[in-house]
Chains A and B, each alone.
Chain A
Amino acid sequence: MRDVAIIGVKNTNFGEMWDRSFRDIVVEAGVGAIEDSGISGEKLDGMYVGNMSGGQFVEQEHIGALIADYSGLSLDLHIPSTRVEAACASGGLAFRQAVMAVASGHEDLVMAAGVEKMTDVSSAAASAALAAAADREWEGIMGATFPGLYAMIAKMHMHQYGTTSEQLASVAVKNHKNGSMNPIAQYKNRITIDNVLNSIMVADPLHIFDCSPITDGASALVLAPADIAHEYTDTPIYVKATAQASDTIALHDRRDITTLDASVAAGKRAYEMAKMTPADIDLVEVHDCFTIAEICAIEDLGFVKKGLGGKMTEDGETAIGGKIPVNTSGGLKACGHPVGATGIKQLVEVTQQLRGDSGPRQVDGAEVGMTHNVGGSGATAVVNILSRKR
């Protein structure tokens, strides 16, 4: 297998973009990544696009072809374009497919993108679309919602480990602070623990400020074989590992309610592939669709012992400048969560951090970064490790 590098990246602004369409935002991200890479679009050998639910959000399937067409890569060029779906992990999966295409030698210059346009439907319709990531026949039919499933994880975490609502809230407070320094973030306002605890209850113990928002956004990046990456950029960022794992579709079938075994398995595979340990990671973007999800993630990825993720966050060890900065972008909570785009956005954030391009939220001396992208309540997880050094 060949080594692979990221040579260009782009995030659109994240937020409620009522003046811009699905195709507008994904083309902006794709063209931006190509510009950043210095290649020209016709040199692409393939495209992989993460998208969870174009069918429900914008009544559009056949996303791969649409994007190739509106990016100007269909006319005469007929560049192959593949849509990849794994609920909220669609972006992470698209990246992994793109890396495998380059690593195998089958394709050289490849785009990995992600997109979701979620605000063209009511928030009730958006919630119903998201609920399809759970088990429709055995969770959804009983009145389960996504906040409800993660609330059951939170309730169990509190019961087993004494995690508090204040510790959950500290995740949101930290991520809003990071988001306030990220120009693309949906929410740039800083919040307090009291703001979170006094916000409306969605699914006990999760308040609305424990939940990531509904977001429009797109992200894209360009991959090249590591051997030729320097032809395009002075700062290629190398893919040291890309790993994926599956678990039961329903939360109720998990071995342990508070552990996402798919995250543990994908993390373990990624560490093995990169020949690294958690101590080698300088920053990590984790899948904080709810505050409890960030606490589980830092435990499952080995940054802290199971049960101590809440305390670690409350103690400031996951802040920028702390032991392991988590979600410098603002995470899904503050940067926003356009579900198909999130996995790619995380990789764009880590790439910019490793290049040293992250301005006020820069992690000093960042050499190695990780991304962690989850589908549903944990049925799919993707973990990637990126490095400045090959």
Chain B
Amino acid sequence: MSVARFWRKQINRYNIVGTHCKTCDTHYYPPRNVCPKCRRDGDIEAYKFAGPGKVVTYTIIHTAAEGFEMQAPYALAIIELDEGPRFTSQVVCDPKEVSIGMRVRPVFRKLGESGDKGMIYYGTKYVPDNDRN
């Protein structure tokens, strides 16, 4: 992914900033410029999410995506934030520990890099929230 393409959404990825529609009070992460429920009647504002959530479903990836070979096996999951929206992330722990419904909290982690001399991409991954499981 190009530097500009990543940089553009840096705040959203680093700080879990999505959007909120004031018309229907629905939260979106990843951010959306158009509310799919209200469309032109929607009123979108930026919204910073608290962070914690739970695992909706997950898999342990053994055949890694390009650039993720060193991480395999890794747990890929759909996370539901406490405010409602769902998005895809990784759960960083012993893959055997991950389960559906498990409470998780966000951590700032490296996602990847553009080659040996390129930019390093950071973003939000998740770890088990052991105080709440």
Contacts and interface: CB of A to CB of B under 8 A. Distances in A.
Interface of A: 124-125, 127-128, 131, 135-145, 147-148, 151-156, 159, 200-206, 250-253, 257
Nearest to B86: A252
A137 B76 contact: no
Contacts of A152: 57-59, 76-78
Interface centre among B62, B90, B111 (most CB of A within 10 A): B62
Contact of B78 (A124, A159, A206, A257): A257
A137 B9 contact: yes
A124 B72 CA distance: 15
B18 to A, nearest CB: 11
A203 B62 contact: yes
B30 A148 contact: no
B74 interface: yes
Contact of B62 (A144, A153, A201): A201
> Chain A interface secondary structure, helix, strand, loop or mixed?
helix
A155 B58 contact: yes
Contact of B100 (A138, A151, A156): A156
Q: Which 7 A-B pairs have the closest CB atoms?
A: A151-B59, A156-B57, A204-B60, A143-B68, A252-B86, A152-B57, A128-B66
B42 interface: no
Contacts of B65: 127-128, 131, 140, 143-145, 148
B66 A127 contact: yes
A159 B102 CA distance: 13
Given A136-B1, A143-B71, 6 more contacts: A151-B61, A156-B57, A159-B57, A203-B60, A252-B88, A257-B57
B89 interface: yes
A198 to B, nearest CB: 15
A136 B88 CA distance: 11
Nearest to A248: B36
A144 B89 CA distance: 8
A136 B93 CA distance: 24
B47 interface: no
B7 interface: no
B90 A156 contact: no
A92 B23 CA distance: 38
Given A137-B30, A252-B88, A155 B57 contact: yes
B87 interface: yes
A141 B57 contact: no
A140 B30 CA distance: 13
8 contacts: A127-B65, A128-B66, A135-B88, A142-B111, A142-B125, A155-B100, A250-B30, A251-B88
A142 B112 CA distance: 9
B2 to A, nearest CB: 11
A9 B62 CA distance: 40
B67 to A, nearest CB: 8
Contacts of A141: 1, 111-112, 121, 123
B100 A148 contact: no
Contacts of B123: 141-142
Interface in B41-98: 56-68, 71, 74, 76-78, 86-90
A144 B88 CA distance: 8
Contacts of B1: 136-137, 141
A137 B89 CA distance: 12
Contact of A155 (B59, B63, B64, B121): B59
Contacts of B61: 143, 145, 147-148, 151, 202-204
A140 B88 CA distance: 9
Contact of A251 (B63, B66, B78): B78
A251 B57 CA distance: 11
A259 to B, nearest CB: 13
A155 B86 CA distance: 17
A151 B112 CA distance: 22
Contacts of B86: 252-253
Given A152-B58, A156-B56, A159-B57, A203 B63 contact: yes
B80 to A, nearest CB: 9
Nearest to B13: A141
Interface centre among B9, B59, B100 (most CB of A within 10 A): B59
